[in-house]
Chains A and B, each alone.
Chain A
Amino acid sequence: MIRFSRVSKAFRDPLLVDVDLDIESGAIWGLIGPGAGGKSVLLKIAAGLMRPDAGRVEIAGRDITGDDETALAQTRERIGMLFQNNALFDFMTVLDNVAFPLRRRGVADDEAEARAEKRLRAVGLAGSEHKMPSELSGGMQKRVGLARASVADPEVVIYDEPTAGLDPVTTSKIYDLLREDHEASKPTTIVVSSDVDALLSFAPRVALLEGGVLRYDGDAAAIAESDDAVVRQFVTGSLEGPL
């Protein structure tokens, strides 16, 4: 379970203003919103990587608001995260990148490699195990990041733009994979995507972050009928409206 109570964060300008959020364990939650609206920042706060200026954050039953790095690290062990720009370790091979979370959790080398290979096959990257990340295309790097985020079966998985830069067929395959993962071990899954249609059909519940607040947080199927003109305009992609 992930819970935000009145979370605020500002850099130069306020980015998140008193955001409340409640995602129950095992749920799939989608987040959409205009660019530079603070989606990635919200995810980093949810992963315990960034501290909010105000408000409380609870992850998997633990209030992490006052935690120091050591305690935060323990919470992060239960989370897998795909960064928007992948954050692959460029001094390691693709296989080592994916096996890395397993090794750090004490899985034996052979088993870690076998599991990493299996994961890489699942994202369609068999044959690239021994390449370096810089030798891969953008979409391939994205898929390595996906494999690394989910390889250790974390309780919470956070995906920042899992399908950015992927073709429509690969996008469908990736969502199928996320669905399978979810059915297998029911991790709490958070997905940010600018591919609104694909996300709406994947996540039963979605939220829209705009102007520092969640202007919508509810049933994905009902979002197009929202009372809020901003929300309606965003999901339909219309040029007419308040945005």
Chain B
Amino acid sequence: MIARVGDVVIGVTREVGGIGVLMLQVLRALLPWPSMDARELWRNLYRMGVKSLPIILATAFFSGAILVVQSGIFVRRFGAEGLLGWATGYSTFREIGPILIALMFSGRVGSNNTAELGTMTITEQIDGLRALAIDPIRYLIVPRVTAMMVMLFALTVFGDFVAILGGALLGQVVVGVDTSVFWHSLFSNLGTWDLVHGLVKSVFFGLVISLTSCYFGISVRGGAVGVGRAVNASVVASAIGIMVTDCLLTLLMK
């Protein structure tokens, strides 16, 4: 039992350490002057961000809507129509928006990234790059980390907006709170900080997802089976990483 706990602790420490080392390598590759392969950056921005837009927006819309429908019961019972906009905005901007979108993003983009890098590793494409005197960190990892951070931030901005829209719409149709009341409650009670709070989180979530998915991708061993295992581990580790980061940031930015 103790030995097993010990094994798990050692395993987790090793993975976290590996991710930390990768982060340092990425930072070093950005010195002395941040430069990266423009083609790779654009390709990743497009397929990671633009291609994720529909699914992220759909998730955001429904989570905003569900939030409003769920709180509708209490709103009616306590006559708290004037608080619906505030409550929806507060929870969406600060927590639900960033975290749900990050989890969706990890499931769609992070897993794909691990699989792709993992396949490149087992088919020796990473060695192929090194043989052409190309630093795989600079060429493959840096554009991906950048693209994921930028795009998760952008998707969270759009997602927040659409979630609130979904909330306002369902508030009117299902709960019977007029949209003007909803907007008034939202704008008069929430500050820029509530929005910024969530967006700061999204940037860190982007960092966590990108580093984790890249790390598990380039450390694949053992053929196609290994790639499957790595994708699995990467999604689980990203989710845990997102939660831990969220907890720390919430404490820090109180």
Mark interface residues in B122-155 (1 if CB within 8 Å of A CB, else 0): 0111011111111100000000000000000000
CA distance A89 to B132 in the complex (A): 12
Judging by beta carbons under 8 Å apart, are B128 and A89 in contact?
yes
Number of interface residues of B (CB under 8 A): 16
Partner of B125, one of A74, A89, A104: A89
Question: Does A136 interact with chain B (Cβ within 8 Å)?
Answer: no
- Chain B residues with Cβ below 8 Å from A100 are 132
Judging by beta carbons under 8 Å apart, are A77 and B127 in contact?
no
Partner of A47, one of B120, B131, B134: B131
CA distance A73 to B136 in the complex (A): 11
Partner of B124, one of A73, A76, A87, A101: A87
Partner of A49, one of B119, B127, B134: B127
CA distance A100 to B128 in the complex (A): 11
Mark interface residues in A88-101 (1 if CB within 8 Å of B CB, else 0): 11110000000011
Judging by beta carbons under 8 Å apart, are A76 and B133 in contact?
yes
CA distance A44 to B120 in the complex (A): 17
Question: Does A159 interact with chain B (Cβ within 8 Å)?
Answer: no
- Chain B residues with Cβ below 8 Å from A74 are 133
- Chain A residues with Cβ below 8 Å from B131 are 47, 49, 76, 79, 81, 83, 87
Q: How far is the CB of B210 from chain A (nearest CB, A)?
A: 18
Query: From B37, which residue of chain A is reached at the shortest CB distance?
Result: A104
Q: Give residues 64-122 of A contacting B (CB, 8 Å).
A: 69, 73-74, 76-77, 79, 81, 83, 85, 87-91, 100-101, 104
CA distance A83 to B43 in the complex (A): 26
Q: Give residues 170-226 of A contacting B (CB, 8 Å).
A: none
Q: Give residues 107-121 of B contacting A (CB, 8 Å).
A: 116, 119-120
Judging by beta carbons under 8 Å apart, are A69 and B125 in contact?
no
Judging by beta carbons under 8 Å apart, are B133 and A87 in contact?
no
CA distance A100 to B116 in the complex (A): 20
Query: From A69, which residue of chain B is reached at the shortest CB distance?
Result: B135
Partner of A104, one of B116, B127, B134: B134
CA distance A81 to B133 in the complex (A): 11
- Chain A residues with Cβ below 8 Å from B132 are 76, 100-101, 104
- Chain A residues with Cβ below 8 Å from B43 are 91
Partner of A90, one of B123, B129, B130, B134: B123
Judging by beta carbons under 8 Å apart, are A73 and B123 in contact?
no
Query: From B127, which residue of chain A is reached at the shortest CB distance?
Result: A49
Partner of B133, one of A44, A77, A83: A77
- Chain A residues with Cβ below 8 Å from B119 are 90
Interface centre among B119, B131, B133, B134 (most CB of A within 10 A): B131
Query: From B128, which residue of chain A is reached at the shortest CB distance?
Result: A87
- Chain A residues with Cβ below 8 Å from B127 are 44, 49, 83, 87
Judging by beta carbons under 8 Å apart, are A73 and B133 in contact?
yes
CA distance A92 to B132 in the complex (A): 15
CA distance A85 to B120 in the complex (A): 12
CA distance A47 to B43 in the complex (A): 30
Q: How far is the CB of A155 from chain B (nearest CB, A)?
A: 13
Partner of A87, one of B116, B123, B134, B135: B123
Q: How far is the CB of A124 from chain B (nearest CB, A)?
A: 22
- Chain A residues with Cβ below 8 Å from B130 are 49, 73, 76
- Chain A residues with Cβ below 8 Å from B123 are 85, 87, 90
Q: How far is the CB of B143 from chain A (nearest CB, A)?
A: 12
Taking Cβ atoms with an 8 Å cutoff, the residues of B that contact A are: 43, 116, 119-120, 123-125, 127-135
Contact sample, A vs B, 16 pairs, CB 8 Å cutoff: A47-B131, A49-B131, A69-B135, A73-B134, A76-B131, A76-B133, A83-B128, A83-B131, A85-B124, A87-B125, A88-B125, A90-B120, A90-B125, A91-B116, A100-B132, A104-B132
Further 18 A-B residue pairs, CB within 8 A, beyond A76-B130, A104-B132: A47-B131, A49-B130, A69-B135, A73-B135, A76-B131, A77-B133, A85-B124, A87-B124, A87-B125, A87-B128, A87-B131, A88-B125, A88-B128, A89-B128, A89-B129, A90-B120, A90-B123, A90-B125
